[in-house]
Chain A
Amino acid sequence: DQQVKQNSPSLSVQEGRISILNCDYTNSMFDYFLWYKKYPAEGPTFLISISSIKDKNEDGRFTVFLNKSAKHLSLHIVPSQPGDSAVYFCAASMSGGATNKLIFGTGTLLAVQP
């Protein structure tokens, strides 16, 4: 049962344009969401997070939007740069449990073309 889904395996955008990566989840108990970026042969790097009490969080070129009613979040990267080319993972966790274990999606490969 895939509780966190990233339905687009890949995305290609032009340098300077906006990249929009999408993520859907099924478990309404999730209340904290994170985006990680991963280059080959490296571990995931934390990018940005959002709590379920917010619907938007912004950090520089990165903005995450959360739509709780649709169980959907998205990561916007503006403007996109060639160095942003990587696999992006969406992850979710729930408070109230014993730990903050993360449930990951399968990732979206972003290619930013110069």
Chain B
Amino acid sequence: DAGVTQSPTHLIKTRGQQVTLRCSPKSGHDTVSWYQQALGQGPQFIFQYYEEEERQRGNFPDRFSGHQFPNYSSELNVNALLLGDSALYLCASSEAYGLAGARSTDTQYFGPGTRLTVL
């Protein structure tokens, strides 16, 4: 049973560039959340996707955008990179319960992360 996978593992970009990170959820999961973990901090919620729509967004600027595909995989895009965007980006998946439009269950399972360095 494949867990959550993310690619790439590491990425180095320069300021002003754009980056795309990818995530495949755990088998059976259809909800994907993205988190940013800065050094010495806990993960911070960026946004969550369910049924190919952004359900909720954390306190992140519009430079951060995402997409979910029909197979439930997801991408995180960051435009106009800043030095402060250097962090570990984590994808988490969970299983939506109940009927269409219902909230996800509370346990999220994380991928290994993508380490982004902005120079």
Q: Which residues of A contact B (CB under 8 A)?
A: 4, 32, 34, 36, 41-46, 49, 89, 91, 93, 95, 97-107
Contacts and interface: CB of A to CB of B under 8 A. Distances in A.
A44 B43 contact: yes
Nearest to B4: A43
A100 B55 CA distance: 10
Contacts of B4: 43
Contacts of A42: 112-113
Interface stretch (B11-19, B61-69, B74-82, B103-111): B103-111
A4 B59 CA distance: 16
B109 A106 contact: no
B20 interface: no
Contacts of A91: 42
B43 A104 contact: yes
A98 B55 contact: yes
A102 B108 contact: yes
B42 A104 contact: yes
B22 to A, nearest CB: 14
B42 A100 contact: no
A107 B42 contact: yes
Which 6 residue pairs across A and B have the least CB separation, nearest first?
A104-B42, A43-B110, A99-B56, A101-B45, A32-B106, A99-B48
Contact of A97 (B35, B56, B109): B56
A34 B107 contact: yes
